[in-house]
Amino acid sequence: MDYNEIVSNIIAKINEEPNEFSHYNALYAVCENISDVDEKYKATNLLKECCTEGIFNKVKIAEKLSELFRETLLLEARGLRFDSYMQYIELNREPSKRFWLPRRNQLLPVVDAIQDLIDDKLDILAVSLPPPNNKNNLIFVCGNTRFRFFNVVKFFPAKFAPL
């Protein structure tokens, strides 16, 4: 099935009727049913963009769109998107206590490399950053202390065989 055409049709409907929540919900349902991880990630990114536009433009359904954005992050996190996982776990945290979102721009290249490790595009990852970049906190978050190397088995056990 060609999901790209379905997604683009739904986005066109969203652009025509931005206050109709059923269009956003339909796009979310399509995203849930896409089996290819890359296609799903593209579709969920489009859904997040539509939700963000609606929230910033203060459409009538902004509160529902905020909840849908949250659900979309969770959907991506379940689909092995480490950046989405990090964003999702901090949604209810006080802004002053957040780790990921304030440092996201600096740490995103490292997380993209970790994502490549998760997606089997890399076999080994070595990170070398100057001290004030919080890489130790990031390594602690995604590392397994018993083995002291990047080990994302802790977060995604179904994807990897037991050690």
Residue-by-residue pLDDT tens, the chain, 163 positions: 688 899 999 999 999 998 999 999 999 999 999 988 888 889 999 999 999 998 888 888 889 999 999 999 999 888 768 888 888 888 889 989 888 888 888 888 888 888 887 778 888 777 776 666 555 555 544 543 333 334 444 445 455 444 4
| 51: nearest Cα among 40, 41, 42, 61 | 61
Phi, psi of 143, rounded to the nearest 5 degrees: -100, 165
Q: What integer pLDDT is reported at residue 73 of this predicted model?
A: 92
The pTM for the full model equals 0.73
Q: What integer pLDDT is reported at residue 66 of this predicted model?
A: 92
Enumerate the domain spans of the chain: 3-79, 97-154
Nearest-angstrom CA–CA distance, 34 and 21:
20
**89 CB burial (10 A radius; 0-12, 13-18, 19+):** middle
Q: What integer pLDDT is reported at residue 1 of this predicted model?
A: 64
Q: Residue written as tokens 């179904």?
A: 158
**73 CB burial (10 A radius; 0-12, 13-18, 19+):** buried
Find out whether 113 and 129 touch, Cβ atoms under 8 Å: no
- Going by the DSSP 8-state scheme, the letter that residue 149 receives in this structure is E
Beta bridge partners of 143: 150
Nearest-angstrom CA–CA distance, 117 and 68:
29
Q: What integer pLDDT is reported at residue 160 of this predicted model?
A: 46
Q: What integer pLDDT is reported at residue 114 of this predicted model?
A: 80
Q: What integer pLDDT is reported at residue 48 of this predicted model?
A: 94
